[in-house]
Chain A
Amino acid sequence: MKDSICVKRKRVSDYVMYGLIYACAASSVLLLVGIILYVLVKGAGQINISFLTNVTSVLRGTVGIAGNIVNTLYIIIITMLIATPIGIGAAVYLNEYAKPGKLVSLIEFATETLAGIPSIIFGLFGMMFFAQTLGLGYSLLTGSFTLTLMVLPLITRNTQEALKTVPDSYRSGAVGLGAGKWYTIRTILLPSAMPGIITGVILAIGKIVGESAALLFTAGSAYTLPKGISDIFTKTLSSGGTLTIQLYLSAQKGEFGIAFGIAVVLLVIVLLINAATKLLTKKFDVNREK
């Protein structure tokens, strides 16, 4: 029968398009897997307890990144301790107190712009302002202050988004019972927005771990461990190289074993952070569905 609806006609161009699209998808996955495998193959051999718990020392004949791990931890903790309250405070102000208008638009525009500035510029600013003008020199504190500036927009934005998803009916309900504004924010809005806030915090930590340019001119490169309990706080005033900085320096010196070893450690950390974010967003959705 002519023009039967049952006859299948596949065009060659359909097959070609399908093939091309498939190739695009495959190459992106393969590229990513390729990079990860390459790093793992080159660096996994370096990883052992000694590498992770020792500090590189000519005197003792050890090679290790313990100092860098500790420095990275310092930078993460100090930066988050400063950026989290300020970021959340800014978001609460923008969402709950400020009247929509020029000031709010200005602050939001500034936050967005800050988020897009290349990190090396933050490094330059940090070097000039925190290191030189404030006299902190190359130190973990200088590095943390600089990263605070970088990470603040992230926390503010995520907290704002989280607060926006809290239904207005909660606010009305609380006010109807006589609750004041801050009491409502403290007892209902912030707890409700917590999953979103935590997601922002974890993303910020991810950004800190991966940061190199901003720390290059600010935190320095030393990798000694704190000498004792009293040194734990004073160490913040001295220079400290994070994992990323050490990777750069080792690669520069041609010590590729160490460089790839650090790369593996960083990959594992990034993987863990992504997994944590995924878990949290899943938990968040489950809570919302109820």
Chain B
Amino acid sequence: MEQKTKISVKDLNLFYGENHALKNVSMDMKENAITAFIGPSGCGKSTFLKTLNRMNDLVDNVKITGQVLLDQEDIYGAEVDTTTLRKKVGMVFQQPNPFPMSIYDNIAYGPRVHGIKDRHKLDEIVEESLRGAAIFDEVKDRLKKSALSLSGGQQQRICIARALAVHPDVLLMDEPTSALDPISTLKIEDLMEELKKTYTVVIVTHNMQQAVRVSDDTAFFLLGEMIEYGNTKDLFAYPQDKRTEDYITGRFG
């Protein structure tokens, strides 16, 4: 079954000042699939993830060449509105970062940014998003309590719900479980399986076993280059490049 391409990256180069951090990266990511980026620390996988929703715009001295096509539209085009872009492409960060407000206000923050003020509509969105993140039953009786009073795993699921509340097409997750305990990690991995039915998920992980567990396709990065990209099972069973094989078998990392 041929899956549609959601994001198509062509010859992407990124410079932090003089430092050539991403070198000629090209790949197509499928819709309603989970794509994982793996590689040793400093290989550029998080940097690359952030180019997909233009979070690198926040950093000084960054230069980007090449194209990132979301549904065939280049997100680096001159006419692009970053607010709309970030509504379509949401992000979950490595450290859970709920705002210092109630759980309800955290989830409602995104919709409010985009102009939704109606109380009933917001109530609906909040419940829908919390269910989508598999945490509604746990918090439904304390929506007005501060989000900071939850455990790490719960906070991360709140952040996922918060990202889902703006109804994105794509969900970017930057090492979403590396700061969490094994049980929360498993819960979130199960969640990802569910999420891919509705969204396109791209995750960065430094945990190869996680990539094997959850992803459909995997890309291996090293020193700013994408070395190999393909079906996860194929890549791990029959890596084509020696460097991929060395990383996967633990010769370096």
Interface of A is mostly: helix
Which of B58, B148, B149, B166 contacts A177, CB < 8 Å?
Answer: B166
Q: A169-B93, A169-B95, A177-B110 are in contact. List 9 more A-B contacts (CB 8 A).
A: A172-B55, A172-B97, A173-B99, A174-B113, A175-B55, A175-B86, A178-B83, A178-B113, A287-B100
The digit string for B140-169, where 1 denotes a CB below 8 A from any CB of A, is 000000101100000000010011001000
Chain B residue nearest in CB terms to A179: B113
Q: Which of B160-181 contact A (CB under 8 A)?
A: 162-163, 166
Residue B84 CB within 8 A of the other chain: yes
1/0 per position for A153-180, CB-CB distance to B under 8 A? Answer: 0000000000000010111111111111
A99 within 8 A of B: yes
Whether the Cβ atoms of B93 and A173 lie closer than 8 Å is yes
- Rounded to whole Å, the gap between the CB of B176 and the closest CB of chain A is 13
B30 within 8 A of A: no
Contact B100 A175 (CB under 8 A): no
B60 touching A176, Cβ below 8 Å: no
Cross-chain pair count, CB within 8 angstroms? 65
Q: List B84-115 residues whose CB lies under 8 Å from chain A.
A: 84-87, 90-91, 93, 95, 97-100, 109-110, 113-114
List the B side residues contacting A167 at CB < 8 Å: 97
Check A170–B99 contact: CB distance below 8 A.
Answer: yes
Residues of A within 8 A of B (CB): 99, 167, 169-180, 183, 187-188, 191-192, 287, 290
B13 at the interface (CB under 8 A from A): no
A287 to B, closest residue via Cβ: B100
Chain A residues with Cβ under 8 A from B91's Cβ? 176
- Name B's interface SS: helix
Given known pairs A99-B60, A172-B58, A290-B149, the reply for A177 and B109 (CB within 8 Å) is yes
**In the A-B complex, the 5 residue pairs with the closest CB atoms:** A169-B97, A178-B86, A176-B91, A177-B110, A178-B83
What is the total number of residues of chain B having a CB less than 8 Å from a CB of chain A? 29
B232 at the interface (CB under 8 A from A): no
B84 pairs with A170, CB closer than 8 A:
no
Q: Are A176 and B55 in contact (CB under 8 A)?
A: yes
Compute how far the CA of A176 lies from the CA of B160 in the bound complex, rounded to whole angstroms: 12
Once bound together, how far apart are the Cα atoms of A139 and B137, in whole Å?
Answer: 63
Residue of A nearest to B92 (CB): A176
Q: Is B32 an interface residue (CB 8 A)?
A: no
Contact residues in B for A170 (Cβ distance below 8 Å): 97, 99-100
Instruction: Name the CB-closest residue of B to A290.
Output: B148
Q: Is the CB of B166 within 8 A of A178?
A: yes
Q: B200 at interface (Cβ–Cβ under 8 A)?
A: no
User: Given contacts A169-B95, A180-B83, A290-B148, are A175 and B58 in contact (CB under 8 A)?
Assistant: yes
B162 touches A177 (CB 8 A): yes
Find the B residue at minimum CB distance from A188: B99
Contact at A173–B84, with CB atoms within 8 Å? Answer: no
